[in-house]
Amino acid sequence: MRVPRIVLAAPASGAGKTSIVTGLLAALRARGLAVSPHKVGPDYIDPGYHALAAGRPGRNLDPWLVGEERIGPLFLHGALTPRRADIAVIEGVMGLFDGHATRPGFGSTAHVATLLAAPVVLVVDARAAGRSVAATVHGFRAFDPRVRIGGVVLNQVGSARHAEILRAAMAEIAMPVLGVVRRRASLATPSRHLGLVPAAERAGAARDVVTELGAVAAADLDLDALLALAATAPDLPAEPWDPRAAVAGAGDSTGVGGAGAGAIVGAAATAAGPRPVVAVAGGPAFTFGYTELPELLIAAGADVAPFDPTVDEALPGGTSALVIGGGFPQVHAGALTANAALRTAVRAFAATGAPVAAECAGLLYLSSALDGAPMCGVLGEVAAAMTPRLTLGYREAAAATDSVLAPRGTVVRGHEFHRTATIPPAGGGAVRDSAPAWRWRDAAGAEIAEGFVRGGVHASYLHTHWAGMPGAASRFVAAARQARAVAA
């Protein structure tokens, strides 16, 4: 299947990829093109800006989380949903060849570009260099012959004379220049402890920046040349990923290995009767989530109802299950605490044994307090607090106990990304009536037990991509059906 596509990468983080990609998406959309935005890696924040610019969801492509075999199908699914895109633009992660720490190159932008047979445009931060930029670009072009670098965008260019020097250097190595972007302090996007401030938290300001980035891209990038390069991508020998087929084909395997979900998977996919309602937290405090998660829940037989814990005082009507993903509850702790009615409702809902899946920010929200601000208290006396230490990395984990997401022993792949830590009850020891959610080994080989399973609650710092463990959606929806039946 042929979809014109390009990957925008860089020699290192901080080169301005997100700004260039967001502007390119907006400029192409302004031309009347349907543009499909994608992001290499697990990052949740950049796709929010992509979605604003493209007018359709930003989607992640991460071989570690979903497996190499799903990259092409998931890409095609995004490029065809809600309608076929005229071009797909894929933003890379870190430097072009940076990937999994213990598997050189795995999960890197180069890896994904190769899996998609997509040409690469290298975004080069040229603010402190002249002719030497050519040596950098030449080295990247020669490093891996499987990666086709079709041109460069020169970013942070200081003057017309600087641009002339850089263009001459690119001509020496016969590298097409597809854009020259001058320095503009007004386009800086605010950051904090985990990266850019999510677009959903900036509302009108984010839209204004996207509009300005689109104008810059239209003026400074060679859109026709970029479209022509994207059109050189060959047919992709894959079928689009289909959430319904993923759920139906989950069989008895919930993750990348290990024990399966058994009969409960088939029960969810084929059960008759009213569809259970799965409430999914959103709003400014819970902005992290992969687009495929609600698609899988719907395919597994549920209705998805979004709600905002900062303002909504009750769960959506008929809620039978609850998903609380990642985000920045610490930034919005005041609003979350002030909404005592919803905190009480969540605590009462969890006490019924109904399924609750909480990741990272969701774990913090279910704790008793976050930096002293009262939260839901679903996890007993467990509290949470900000720390100076960033916990970041891919994990291969095994389910430590049976839960609403996976049977004990199921192997999954995920990632951690947080600056908070949970604080056990006074006196330490295990949390009453709970078991760890996951177990894995750290770089030194020591076993880590992480998260909490308590009744129908599964709360953990580990972020997972349910497209890489589609049996989880069926298992979760089956638990929601059972909870609804009990409530009836």
For 364-422, what is each residue's pLDDT tens digit? 999 999 999 999 999 988 999 999 988 899 999 999 999 999 999 999 999 999 999 99
Q: Which helix (H) or strand (E) holds 466?
A: none
* pLDDT value, residue 187: 59
Q: Which of 304, 360, 412, 473 is catalytic?
A: 360
Tens-digit pLDDT profile for residues 415-454:
999 999 998 765 455 566 789 999 999 888 999 999 999 9
What does the mean pLDDT of the chain come to? 91
* pLDDT value, residue 103: 86
Q: Using CA of residue 156, residue 158, residue 164, residue 166, what is the dihedral sign?
A: negative
CA distance 304 to 94: 34
Strand partners, 192: 195
CA distance 107 to 7: 14
Token pair listed for 85: 């895109």
Please give the torsion angle defined by the CA atoms of residues 377, 317, 292 and 27, in that order, rounded to the nearest 10 degrees.
-100
With H, G, I as helix, E, B as strand and everything else as coil, classify residue 462: coil
What's the DSSP call for residue 276? Answer: P
pTM of this prediction? 0.92
Which amino acid appears at position 268 of this protein? A
Q: Which helix (H) or strand (E) holds 17?
A: helix 17-30
Among 77, 371, 373, 48, residue whose Cα is nearest residue 207: 48
The radius of gyration computed from the CA coordinates of the chain, to the nearest angstrom, equals 23
* pLDDT value, residue 195: 45
The answer to whether residue 95 scores a pLDDT higher than 80 is yes
With H, G, I as helix, E, B as strand and everything else as coil, classify residue 70: helix
* pLDDT value, residue 488: 72
Residue 376 appears among annotated catalytic residues: no
- The full set of domains in the chain, from first to last, is 5-230 (3.40.50.300), 243-487 (3.40.50.880)
Token pair listed for 113: 């570009």
* pLDDT value, residue 189: 55
Tens-digit pLDDT profile for residues 27-44:
999 999 999 999 999 998
Q: Which helix (H) or strand (E) holds 353?
A: none
Q: Using CA of residue 110, residue 113, residue 119, residue 120, what is the dihedral sign?
A: negative
* pLDDT value, residue 470: 78
With H, G, I as helix, E, B as strand and everything else as coil, classify residue 346: helix
- Give percent of the chain above pLDDT 70: 90
* pLDDT value, residue 457: 98
Which amino acid appears at position 289 of this protein? G
Strand partners, 324: 358
Q: Cα-flanking dihedrals φ and ψ of residue 121, to 5°? A: -110, 125
Tens-digit pLDDT profile for residues 4-30:
999 999 999 999 999 999 999 999 999
Token pair listed for 322: 């609850």
Alpha helical stretches, state H, 231-358? 243-248, 263-270, 292-299, 333-338, 340-351
Residue matched to tokens 């009615």: 341
Question: Which pLDDT band, with edges at 50, 70 and 90, does 198 fall under?
Answer: low
CA distance 291 to 58: 8
